[in-house]
Structure 1
């Protein structure tokens, strides 16, 4: 769900903003803030790589299972929890509010100052409580990771301050969608993160299995991921149709080249059967196929538009959507061939 988190958060925030009467532009900005917030919890995988490298130098084995076994102690346990998400929401909103107060030409009225100070105070208090909890209940290194994560969140909020036209409440709501939805996107590939860490009893311990057959289980995860991406794409085409080049509606985006994804069906009997443990067998073969289709369709679109600057945006969008459609068709074709084969 490294990709699905962001697309789902964009869809939830974007459609939600439209439902309460916001303009397309406001909904677009809400979706962007939510997507950024949904991305940030996974950035600590950089720290996890460093942690694993140290462990390997000390004799730990190489491999995906070994990597996640080492990394998850300070990866999902720290950033993929609801308390951390709640505090991160406050930090991002506070950084946006303070960043706006310091930008040239900003309205420095009393209400804006009060909101910035209030959010900053709540964020600082929440961080103090959270870091103390991680230090006491998990480890000092977990507290350090949490502090680094919140610093990254604040930096992201500072960057977003001058780029999104949302009210302080809108930023807070959109950020909350991203941060608080993130933990629930990981329940299909691994054991769920400890939702209330560092203050929790364990309330959800087992991953969600979508099928008894291990390969069908993985294909179900692929379907969930693709659904999340398509929801985000549909929301984007709704709120940003004027930015899509020559593609104004989702139904206009389908390129016949995407049918090349159906050629992936023989992989069900030619390749080793992938499972959650060795999902790379699926990902490392089907994603390159989709990428080739995307480049093919994007280049064709670019040539059709004569290489104009405006056409580059449309070409990029056309290529992405053709690749996504090819990936979806490949997944369907593989699943049908697999079911027939077994």
Structure 2
């Protein structure tokens, strides 16, 4: 769901901005800002690198992923995913986005000091509630958010209130997607969470449950792509190549591979994304090599959109084919 968090925040923010009468380029820009803020809570997985540091090369690639995710459970979806933290942090990022009207501006200096103070307070609270590791990831969270806020202030004309609102939407929208793919976040950190303490089960069959979660993620990506198409005045149907239909061949994988689950999904995720990628880039008359594989006209910004639409359609068809074969026949 890493990508889905950012794309969902982007799509909703951009569509709301358009609904409010913003011109398309400005609506896309605020969507990007909201999406960046929505991605920030997952900086807590940086701590999982300690798992890789302990990984034994002899354990293989799957051993590396297991070590990574086992270490991530120490702090992932805790302090940085809290709704309370999100509200305080959004306020701080809004304060940091206040521009200096002139060198030595007292108003901007006081606002930046207040914003930094709020972020420092979050680090102190994280340390008091969960120890140094939580304080470390909170520091990463604060730094990442400050970079986005300051960068937005430098490169756009958005008001500090708009930046704070984009940050609030991004940070508060993030935790909900985690209900489908892992342990629920610590909603009210540093306080106890009295509700939503278990993962949402989409289907009792663990494989169909994983496929349902993947479909939600895919739907979010489609929402973001169609939002971009609407605001950039692009026609997805005109961009779609018929070779996306080749994704239907992926249904055969359900007969020969180990059924994926949330606990073991790498082989499914990487293979279905690979199938979609091939649908998007392979064209009639291409030759071996990356420059021959992707025609010259597809190396432009409009070409990237064509690839994205065709690849995403290929993945969607592949998913439908896999679900159909799995439901009707099951693995051999």
- Relative to the length of structure 1, the TM-score reads 0.84
Q: Distance in 2 between matches of 1:38 and 1:205?
A: 22
Aligned to 1:83: 84
Pairwise mapping of residues 115-154 of structure 1 onto structure 2 (< 5 A)?
Answer: 116=108, 119-154=111-146
2:2 counterpart SS class: coil
- The counterpart of 1:260, out of the listed 241, 246, 271, is 246
Aligned to 1:20: 20
Aligned to 1:245: none
State whether structure 2 residue 175 is matched by structure 1 residue 187: no
The 1:311/1:144 distance shift into structure 2, 3 A limit, reads closer
Q: Report the alpha carbon displacement of residue 311 of structure 1 after superposing the two structures with TM.
A: 6.7
The 1:193/1:31 distance shift into structure 2, 3 A limit, reads same
The 1:252/1:95 distance shift into structure 2, 3 A limit, reads farther
The 1:136/1:281 distance shift into structure 2, 3 A limit, reads same
Q: Report the alpha carbon displacement of residue 337 of structure 1 after superposing the two structures with TM.
A: 1.0
Pairwise mapping of residues 1-342 of structure 1 onto structure 2 (< 5 A)?
Answer: 1-49=1-49, 51-56=50-55, 62=63, 64-98=65-99, 101=100, 107-108=101-102, 114=107, 116=108, 119-241=111-233, 248-296=234-282, 307=296, 312-342=300-330
1:162 counterpart SS class: helix
The 1:140/1:202 distance shift into structure 2, 3 A limit, reads farther
Contact 2:251 2:318 in 1 (8 A): yes
Q: Report the alpha carbon displacement of residue 141 of structure 1 after superposing the two structures with TM.
A: 2.2
2:136 counterpart SS class: helix
Deviations 1:245-275, CA, capped at 9 Å, x for gaps: xxx2233332211111111011111111111
Q: Distance in 2 between matches of 1:43 and 1:252?
A: 37
Q: Report the alpha carbon displacement of residue 56 of structure 1 after superposing the two structures with TM.
A: 4.5
Q: Report the alpha carbon displacement of residue 19 of structure 1 after superposing the two structures with TM.
A: 1.8
Q: How many residue pairs align between the two structures?
A: 321
The 1:201/1:46 distance shift into structure 2, 3 A limit, reads closer
- Long gaps (5+) in structure 2: none
Q: Distance in 1 between matches of 2:138 and 2:239?
A: 41
Deviations 1:211-233, CA, capped at 9 Å, x for gaps: 01111001001110011111111
Q: Distance in 1 between matches of 2:283 and 2:121?
A: 51
Q: Distance in 2 between matches of 1:252 and 1:148?
A: 42
Contact 1:253 1:322 in 2 (8 A): yes
The 1:13/1:117 distance shift into structure 2, 3 A limit, reads farther
**Over aligned residues, Cα RMSD in angstroms?**
3.0
Q: Report the alpha carbon displacement of residue 113 of structure 1 after superposing the two structures with TM.
A: 6.8
Contact 2:250 2:272 in 1 (8 A): yes
Q: Report the alpha carbon displacement of residue 312 of structure 1 after superposing the two structures with TM.
A: 0.7
Q: Distance in 1 between matches of 2:285 and 2:273?
A: 18
Contact 1:83 1:130 in 2 (8 A): no
Aligned to 1:244: none
